[in-house]
Amino acid sequence: MTGRALYFTGERSVSVRDEPVPDPGPDEVLVRTERSAVSPGTELLVYNDEVDDGTVADETIDSLDGTLSYPLQYGYSAVGRVVSVGSSLDEQWLDRRVFAFNPHESHFTAEPERLTPTTLDPDQALFIPNVEAAVNFVMDARPRIGARVAVFGQGPVGLLTTSLLAEFPLSELVTVDRYEKRRSLSRSFGADRAVRAAEGADAVDDVDITFELSGNPSALDAAIDATGYAGQVIVGSWYGTKDVSLELDGEYHRSHVRMQSSQVSRLDPAHADRWDKDRRMEFVRSWLAETDLSPLLTHELPIDRAPDAYRLLSDNPDEAVQVAFRYD
């Protein structure tokens, strides 16, 4: 049987290749992918060759332990059905829907420990990793009652962060983005105000917590400027090889503003007394079961149209928010 796998082959170049479908080992299952989600953050950095050659993809995930050097397989949100089980495993795994941090490909093998069983619809389950990232950002920020909060960047992870923050008793939740489609979505997800990026410096000021999730280096300077005395900036963006220039002038010098990086692969040790990855994932799954995210999924394309998908996200972010591949 022949499967399909996506490869990043060079700057702004991807290909979908025919590959033999692997047989599961004794302690593995074979998964047939139904949907996989494209990350408009990290995957676009790879697509546009904006990652240092040799950067490790993610040493905490077995399927992503290689480097981000061409040619490579990448992606980390796959939802599918178990279609075959190894000789040492219980056949109850057969036909179970599972989520996996796995690259874009029609079939893959995995040990059950790498899989998250789910009863969610595939179009909902593919948001698991971005919801997990958003939960991590909010956990690191620890918003207090009555806080004034701003979120820069309303791509998928920014919108999910906005939706989570909207459940807190904040004084104000403001979002900042270049594109009207995303600003409109953020208002529907609970933002009190959504302003254009060009207005950010004038429209957002003296906030307690600012999240920089846009992936745009210039937004970090704007996020710092918007943060009030002794406030906090949570930096969830990865800028890759893009230059980041900050104006850390006298006002900043006296501001006591704190900047903190936040990334989902590891929990901040400050949470280790009560939280681990399993508990965080349990919350993610329960939140997804109660939250309709269908407005975020703006485009769904067959895997054979992968080149079109990346061009769309790279060249027309005003049209696309979350893009997914289907494997018919």
Q: Per-residue confidence at 215, pLDDT binned at 50, 70, 90?
A: very high
Q: Per-residue confidence at 198, pLDDT binned at 50, 70, 90?
A: confident
* DSSP code of residue 92: G
Express each pLDDT in 56-81 by its tens digit.
Answer: 777 666 667 778 899 999 999 999 99
The domain over range 130-265 is classified in CATH as 3.40.50.720:
yes
What's the mean pLDDT in 89-109?
97
What's the mean pLDDT in 103-127?
97
Burial class (CB within 10 angstroms; exposed 0-12, middle 13-18, buried 19+) of 273: exposed
- Which amino acid is residue 127, in one-letter code? F
What pLDDT was estimated at residue 95?
Answer: 97
The domain over range 2-127+296-326 is classified in CATH as 3.90.180.10:
yes
What pLDDT was estimated at residue 253?
Answer: 86
Residue limits of CATH 3.40.50.720 in the chain? 130-265
What pLDDT was estimated at residue 97?
Answer: 98
Q: Is the pLDDT of residue 328 over 90?
A: no
Give the whole-angstrom CA distance, residue 157 versus residue 134: 6
Residue limits of CATH 3.90.180.10 in the chain? 2-127+296-326
Give the whole-angstrom CA distance, residue 166 versus residue 161: 9
Inter-CA distances, 284 with 75, 124, 127, 249, 265, Å: 19, 12, 9, 40, 15
Give the whole-angstrom CA distance, residue 325 versus residue 328: 10
